[in-house]
Amino acid sequence: MTDTRSKRIVLTGAAGGIGTMIRPLLAPLYPGLVLSDRVAPPNLLAAETFIAADLTKPDEVAAAVEGAHGVIHLGGHSVEGSWDTILQANIIGCYNLFEAARQAGVERVIFASSNHAVGFYPRKRRIGPDVTVRPDSRYGVSKAFGEALGALYADKHGIAVTCLRIGNVGPRPIDVRRLSIWLLPQDLVQLIQIGLEHPEIRFEILYGASDNAAAWWDNARARTLGYRPVGRAEDHRAHAEAEQAKVGPDPVGDLFQGGTFCSAEFNNDVKHAGP
């Protein structure tokens, strides 16, 4: 692994849900960690460095990544939204981030992609990172765009880019779908470490999932790079099934990996949806 502990690492989206969960885990690993978001996290510590930046404003993004060795890009709109919302935060904002990183000489970028970039694959099909994207939403489209942009900046400009198709991050899976896509925060940090430190990284798409027996995703490449998840979704099956019983059936979402993101606004015949 490359030693990045003394180097400046920027975490965008630091005030968001995932950022809040992993900040305490990243801090001891990367003392040069810089937090960035539109607003400061409410529990910002005196020892933490924060730089306010709106992803839609190139000058602010450039200031946030100046002097950085690596960027962990969690920033943006984290759920489905209107086209304009997604366009500004996740497409224009993502471009601004990669371009600022290029201009600043950033060597590595971790891009928080999403399972929703491939959400229209059926649950009965196991997929790897090399499948054609099948986004389930405007949000999913923006994540597919981010992966493509990462490939461009890796191939054309030599930035080492790792795209993490994140499932659902939290202390335990909260329904049956999440038994297949759950990601323990500690395991997410492991994947981020691989992206920031592994010498073989050029451009990678890895799945952000823990050790889930019901997994829909082949994450062999991540394991080849040293990923050893400690979270086990099956340890929480009883809780997930109990929570699932409180939710009614979804005739569309229950067929596809993206769940309710697939069923929202759906007006197709399910037989004609997905590969």
- CATH number of the domain where residue 91 is located: 3.40.50.720
Tokens of 138: 């405007």
Q: Is residue 1 part of a domain?
A: no
pLDDT digits (tens, 9 = 90+) for 216-258: 999 999 999 999 999 999 999 999 999 999 998 999 999 999 9
Mean pLDDT of the chain: 96
Structural domain contains residue 263 = yes
Residue 4 belongs to some domain of the structure: no
Edge-to-edge strand order for the sheet containing 49-52?
49-52, 33-37, 9-12, 70-73, 108-114, 160-166, 203-208
At residue 2 the predicted structure's pLDDT band, cuts being 50, 70 and 90, is low
Q: One of 30, 95, 121, 139 is an active-site residue; which one?
A: 139
State the residue range of the domain holding 151. Answer: 9-272
How many angstroms separate the CA atoms of 234 and 228, rounded? 16
DSSP of 163-193 = EEEE-EESSS--STTHHHHEE-HHHHHHHHH
Domain count, the chain: 1
User: pLDDT tens, 127-169?
Assistant: 999 999 999 999 999 999 999 999 999 999 999 999 999 999 9
CA of 222: how far to CAs of 206, 212, 254, in Å?
Answer: 6, 14, 27
Residue pair 195/26 in contact (Cβ under 8 Å)? The answer is no
3 assigned to some structural domain: no
How many C-beta neighbours within 10 Å does residue 21 have?
17
pLDDT digit string, tens, across residues 173-195: 999 999 999 999 999 999 999 99
Assess if residue 94 is contained within a domain.
yes
Does residue 179 fall inside a structural domain? Answer: yes
Is residue 114 included in any domain, yes or no?
Answer: yes
Cα 168 off chain centre by: 9
Specify if 2 maps to a domain: no
222, exposed or middle or buried, with CB in 10 Å at 0-12, 13-18, 19+? buried
Phi, psi of 32 (to 5 degrees): -90, 20
Contact 117, 144 (CB under 8 A): yes
Predicted pLDDT of residue 1: 65
Q: What is the pLDDT of residues 13-63, one digit of tens each?
A: 999 999 999 999 999 999 999 999 999 998 888 888 999 999 999 999 999
Q: Active site includes 30? A: no
